[in-house]
Amino acid sequence: MTTLLVARHGETDWNREGRWQGWADPPLNDTGREQARRLAEELRSTDFDAVYSSDLRRALETAEILAAPHGAPVVADAGLREIDVGSWSGLTRAEIEERFPDGKRPDGETHEQHGARVRAAVIRIAGEHLGERILLVTHGGTIRSIHDVISDLPYHPVPNCHVLEVHFRDDRLTAPIG
């Protein structure tokens, strides 16, 4: 069995302002860097065999902070990116409702496209590290896509710098038992 520790990146100013980020690349703010340092301390005694991150700056910066106490290199993987929200990028919910009253994005990825991309990336990474413990640093929407694969339960958004544990066994992603 492979264990995946899936962490959401630290806070950005856009998180704080309620702006959709998608593939935009805002950096962590001071709060986000402090969140990452606190999580790094929590994970200090947790061994992992590899660290992967979305290639977007907010996730990479978080991953580098988390990996530093372990001396582990961070592998950037575009498959772990957030959903591409296209024209919604940088907008608040109110701005989206004003500009796109039908609630539909004219561009970017669909949830199905994002889910397929994320699932393929996570299964590929897990398959390359059978029997190991891997840290993945990614985004809220990406974590939701992983959750949708492992559970029929309603999704509750994961706060910045929180971790979800996922198992890979028999070519399937599953939630831990118990």
pLDDT for 176 equals 81
pLDDT for 178 equals 52
> What is the C-alpha to C-alpha distance for residues 113 and 7, in angstroms, rounded to an integer?
21
pLDDT for 150 equals 86
133 is annotated as contributing to ligand binding: no
pLDDT for 16 equals 97
95 is annotated as contributing to ligand binding: no
pLDDT for 98 equals 96
Sheet with 50-53, strands from edge to edge, namely 74-76, 50-53, 133-138, 2-8, 163-169, 172-174
8 is annotated as contributing to ligand binding: yes
Domains, the chain, ordered by start: 2-174 (3.40.50.1240)
Please, what are the averages of pLDDT over each run of 10 residues along the chain (178 residues)? 97 98 97 99 96 99 98 98 97 96 93 96 96 98 92 85 93 79
> What is the C-alpha to C-alpha distance for residues 85 and 42, in angstroms, rounded to an integer?
32
Catalytic residues: 9, 82
pLDDT for 177 equals 64
